[in-house]
Amino acid sequence: MKIAVLNGGSRQGGNTKILTEKLVKGLEVTTFHLEEYTIKPIMDGRHDEGGFHPVDDDYESLMGQVMSHDLLIFATPVYWYSMSAAMKLFIDRWSQTMREPEYGDFREQMSKKQAFVLAVGGDSPYMKALPLLQQFQHIFQFVHLPFSGYVLGQANKPGEIWEDHQALFAADEMNKKLHTMIKA
Amino acid sequence: MKIAVLNGGSRQGGNTKILTEKLVKGLEVTTFHLEEYTIKPIMDGRHDEGGFHPVDDDYESLMGQVMSHDLLIFATPVYWYSMSAAMKLFIDRWSQTMREPEYGDFREQMSKKQAFVLAVGGDSPYMKALPLLQQFQHIFQFVHLPFSGYVLGQANKPGEIWEDHQALFAADEMNKKLHTMIKA
Amino acid sequence: MKIAVLNGGSRQGGNTKILTEKLVKGLEVTTFHLEEYTIKPIMDGRHDEGGFHPVDDDYESLMGQVMSHDLLIFATPVYWYSMSAAMKLFIDRWSQTMREPEYGDFREQMSKKQAFVLAVGGDSPYMKALPLLQQFQHIFQFVHLPFSGYVLGQANKPGEIWEDHQALFAADEMNKKLHTMIKA
Amino acid sequence: MKIAVLNGGSRQGGNTKILTEKLVKGLEVTTFHLEEYTIKPIMDGRHDEGGFHPVDDDYESLMGQVMSHDLLIFATPVYWYSMSAAMKLFIDRWSQTMREPEYGDFREQMSKKQAFVLAVGGDSPYMKALPLLQQFQHIFQFVHLPFSGYVLGQANKPGEIWEDHQALFAADEMNKKLHTMIKA
Range with the lowest mean pLDDT among B99-103, B126-130, B166-170? B99-103
B136-152 pLDDT, tens per residue? 999 999 999 999 999 99
- Rounded Cα–Cα distance for residues C9 and A34 (Å): 51
Mean model confidence pLDDT for chain A: 94
Pairing of the two strands D114-121 and D147-154: parallel
Q: Do D166 and A165 touch (CB under 8 A)?
A: no
| D177 bridge partner residues | none
pLDDT category at B97 given cuts 50, 70, 90 is very high
- Rounded Cα–Cα distance for residues A84 and D143 (Å): 34
Asked if B43 is an interface residue toward chain C (Cβ–Cβ < 8 A), one would say no
Which residues, 6+ apart, have CB-to-CB distance to A43 below 8 Å? Answer: A52, A53, A55, B10, B11, B35
pLDDT at C48: 76
| B77 bridge partner residues | B120
Contacts of D158 in chain C (CB under 8 A): 47
- Rounded Cα–Cα distance for residues C110 and C98 (Å): 11
Q: What is the mean pLDDT of residues D2-30?
A: 93
Q: Do B42 and A10 touch (CB under 8 A)?
A: yes
Q: Do A88 and B82 touch (CB under 8 A)?
A: yes
Helix spans in chain B (H):
15-23, 59-66, 85-92, 94-97, 106-111, 125-128, 130-143, 165-183
Asked if D133 is an interface residue toward chain A (Cβ–Cβ < 8 A), one would say yes
pLDDT at C147: 96
Least CB-CB distance to B157: which of A47, A123, A158?
A47
- Rounded Cα–Cα distance for residues C61 and C70 (Å): 17
Which segments within chain D are labelled E, that is strand? 3-7, 29-33, 71-77, 114-121, 147-154
Task: Order the strands of the C71-77 sheet from edge to edge.
Answer: C29-33, C3-7, C71-77, C114-121, C147-154
pLDDT over 90 at B50, yes or no = no
D114-126 pLDDT, tens per residue? 999 999 999 999 9
Task: Please provide the size of chain C in residues.
Answer: 184
State the CB neighbour count (10 A cutoff) for residue D3: 20
* Burial of residue A109 (number of CB atoms within 10 Å: 0-12, 13-18, 19+): middle
pLDDT category at C11 given cuts 50, 70, 90 is low
Q: A175 vs chain B: nearest CA distance in angstroms?
A: 27
Which segments within D39-146 are labelled E, that is strand? 71-77, 114-121
Task: Order the strands of the A29-33 sheet from edge to edge.
Answer: A29-33, A3-7, A71-77, A114-121, A147-154
pLDDT at B101: 86
Asked if A166 is an interface residue toward chain D (Cβ–Cβ < 8 A), one would say yes
In chain B, how many H helices and how many E strands? 8, 5
Q: What is the mean pLDDT of residues A100-125?
A: 94
pLDDT at A90: 98
pLDDT at A172: 96
Specify whether the CB–CB gap between D113 and D145 falls below 8 A. yes
Phi, psi (deg, nearest 5) at residue D12: -60, 130
Pairing of the two strands C3-7 and D147-154: unpaired
Least CB-CB distance to D11: which of C44, C80, C82?
C44
- Rounded Cα–Cα distance for residues B32 and B155 (Å): 22
- The single-letter code of the amino acid at A113 is K
Specify whether the CB–CB gap between A46 and A18 falls below 8 A. no
Q: What is the mean pLDDT of residues C134-150?
A: 96
* DSSP letter assigned to residue B36: G
Asked if D159 is an interface residue toward chain C (Cβ–Cβ < 8 A), one would say no
| Coil vs helix vs strand at C95 | helix
Q: Do A44 and B157 touch (CB under 8 A)?
A: no
pLDDT over 80 at D50, yes or no = no
Specify whether the CB–CB gap between C113 and C71 falls below 8 A. yes
Q: What is the mean pLDDT of residues A57-79?
A: 97
- Rounded Cα–Cα distance for residues D15 and D162 (Å): 8
D101-148 pLDDT, tens per residue? 888 899 999 999 999 999 999 999 999 999 999 999 999 999 999 999
* Burial of residue D94 (number of CB atoms within 10 Å: 0-12, 13-18, 19+): buried
Range with the lowest mean pLDDT among B50-54, B93-97, C37-41, D84-88? B50-54
Residue-wise over A120-157: b if at least 16 C-beta within 10 A, else e?
bbbeebbbbbbbbbbbbbbbbebbebebbbbbbbbbee
pLDDT at C85: 97
Least CB-CB distance to C134: which of B130, B147, B169?
B130
Asked if B139 is an interface residue toward chain A (Cβ–Cβ < 8 A), one would say yes
State the CB neighbour count (10 A cutoff) for residue C172: 17
Domain boundaries, given as residue ranges, for chain C:
3-40+56-183
Which residues, 6+ apart, have CB-to-CB distance to C8 below 8 Å? Answer: C16, C34, C35, C74, C75, C76, C77, C83, C84, C86, C87, C90
- Rounded Cα–Cα distance for residues D10 and A64 (Å): 52
Q: Which of A153, A166, A176 is nearest to A19 (CA)?
A: A153
Give the angle D20-D26-D28 at the CA atoms, nearest 5°.
Answer: 80
CA atoms within 13 A of residue B11's CA, in its CB half-sphere: 24
Q: D30 vs chain A: nearest CA distance in angstroms?
A: 27
- Rounded Cα–Cα distance for residues C171 and B161 (Å): 19
CATH superfamily label, C3-40+56-183:
Flavodoxin domain (3.40.50.360)
pLDDT at A47: 76
Q: What is the mean pLDDT of residues C118-133?
A: 95
| C71 bridge partner residues | C3, C114
ipTM attached to this prediction: 0.94
Q: What percent of chain C has pLDDT over 70?
A: 98
CA B22 to chain centroid? 16
Range with the lowest mean pLDDT among B150-154, D9-13, D64-68? D9-13
pLDDT over 90 at A159, yes or no = yes
CA atoms within 13 A of residue A39's CA, in its CB half-sphere: 28
Position with higher pLDDT, A114 vs D11: A114
Specify whether the CB–CB gap between C89 and C39 falls below 8 A. yes
* CA separation, residue A165 to residues A19, C18, D20 (Å): 11, 51, 20
Specify whether the CB–CB gap between A31 and A2 falls below 8 A. no
| B65 bridge partner residues | none
Q: B119 vs chain A: nearest CA distance in angstroms?
A: 15
Range with the lowest mean pLDDT among A16-25, C39-48, D164-173? C39-48
CA B117 to chain centroid? 6
A23-62 pLDDT, tens per residue? 999 999 999 999 999 999 998 777 777 777 888 899 999 9
Angle between helices A165-183 and A15-23 (to 10 degrees): 40
Specify whether the CB–CB gap between B15 and B158 falls below 8 A. yes
Q: What is the mean pLDDT of residues B83-107?
A: 94
Which residues, 6+ apart, have CB-to-CB distance to A174 below 8 Å? Answer: A23, A116, A149, A151
Helix spans in chain A (H):
15-23, 59-66, 85-92, 94-97, 106-111, 125-128, 130-143, 165-183
CA atoms within 13 A of residue A117's CA, in its CB half-sphere: 26
Least CB-CB distance to A82: which of B41, B88, B95?
B88
Q: Which of A113, A114, A143, A147 is nearest to A132 (CA)?
A: A147
Q: What is the mean pLDDT of residues A139-155?
A: 97
Q: Do C138 and D158 touch (CB under 8 A)?
A: no
